[in-house]
A and B are shown apart, each in its own frame.
Chain A
């Protein structure tokens, strides 16, 4: 009972715009404990107001700088911003250096921009372990736009697309030949393409390649091709136009009611996490030994482990 009272007070403060309370709530959410679940459950009814934007792309594409500039434009329109900036955890020490704030320094005097750095904490796919929960928290806290900046991704880390209403893939000229463009993965989850560093040679060619890739799709797909915009994030060039395109995609999605589909993906992921948490580590190790020694086949091992979880 005491816990519930603490939360109701914390929640009240979060909803009243208390930044310290929001930061504390974010730490609870990130701990992925029972309190984290209680907190999100209590706040869930208040979510659904924010536009959640995923910003992904390869390392060095300028994601942080672009997020910083988008925040500037959104604030200029009088709306508030929450930013989740993800960087990788070390798989060996679990430590991390979270450096995205280096490129987001201009908003420090503005309570309308809340930036939270997250380490992946072992989660693959370009996002952190509790990214969904963090975006729900920021949404419930009344942030009008929530941006999720992924770690620098390769070709296959597409999880942000299941968390975001709109996913923007940031590319830069000179990364690879046109074969890269038709590969599956991040190119497919883009709702919007942002070609950053568009003042560099090769920007036009990159845009042509993306458009050429899109023209190869089926006719139904072609009609829904992701818009491509060129930006120079360091100078803020093209950022307003990019935001306008993101908003247009969001508006269209909302009209079509596509959010339920996204929730199906999220629920599957939450269930998977939930089951994995219940997995006794020493059982995993014991079965691993048996499989390695060929005393057991992997499927029998998985069967036993499933029984260990589900009872």
Chain B
């Protein structure tokens, strides 16, 4: 049996809409991944610390509140500070196109907007992890 991909699924921000994060967590589990799910209201510091201790290959951030331009840059900065630039960051949620482009500039591997299929997300994660390894 090959070693499962480890993913942290986190829901930063102050809103309580974690349905999306839960659907993703469940889909990644069903795709054979080990999903560390940390729940609602995560600060960038909490997210990066959990990713550090759990040695995950991927961080998935679910952001629906519009706070992505505040949260994601901070997460990327903390990852750089801790020397964790090999961790793949993907973002899902309501992200306008121009913001998505900017997030990618910051090092986010992919942004999944409303309507992205679960298959597409799973395939992207698998392929990206293979490339890093």
Give A residues with C-beta under 8 Å from B: 19-20, 23-24, 26-27, 30-31, 89-90, 93-99, 101-102, 105, 108-109, 114-117, 119, 121-122
Contact = CB atoms under 8 A, between A and B. Distances in A.
Contacts, number: 83
Contacts of B88: none
Contacts of A114: 53
Contacts of B39: 99, 101-102, 105
A19 B37 contact: no
Interface residues of B, number: 30
A5 B12 CA distance: 40
Contact of B53 (A23, A109, A119, A121): A23
B82 A20 contact: yes
Interface string B95-130: 000000000000000000000000000000000000
The A interface is mostly helix, strand or loop, or mixed, namely: mixed
A95 B35 CA distance: 8
B69 interface: no
B49 A95 contact: no
A102 B37 contact: yes
A20 B3 CA distance: 20
Nearest to B38: A101
Q: Which secondary structure dominates where chain B touches chain A?
A: mixed
30 contacts: A19-B52, A23-B52, A23-B53, A23-B55, A26-B55, A27-B6, A27-B55, A90-B29, A93-B31, A95-B4, A95-B30, A95-B32, A97-B35, A98-B36, A98-B37, A99-B36, A101-B38, A101-B39, A102-B37, A108-B43, A108-B46, A108-B49, A108-B50, A109-B45, A114-B53, A115-B50, A116-B54, A117-B34, A117-B54, A119-B34
A250 B28 CA distance: 41
Contacts of B30: 90, 93, 95
A95 B6 CA distance: 9
Nearest to A122: B1
Contacts of A101: 36-39, 50
B3 A31 contact: yes
B84 interface: yes
A98 B35 contact: yes
A96 B29 contact: yes
Contacts of A20: 52, 82-84
Contact of A93 (B32, B45, B49): B32
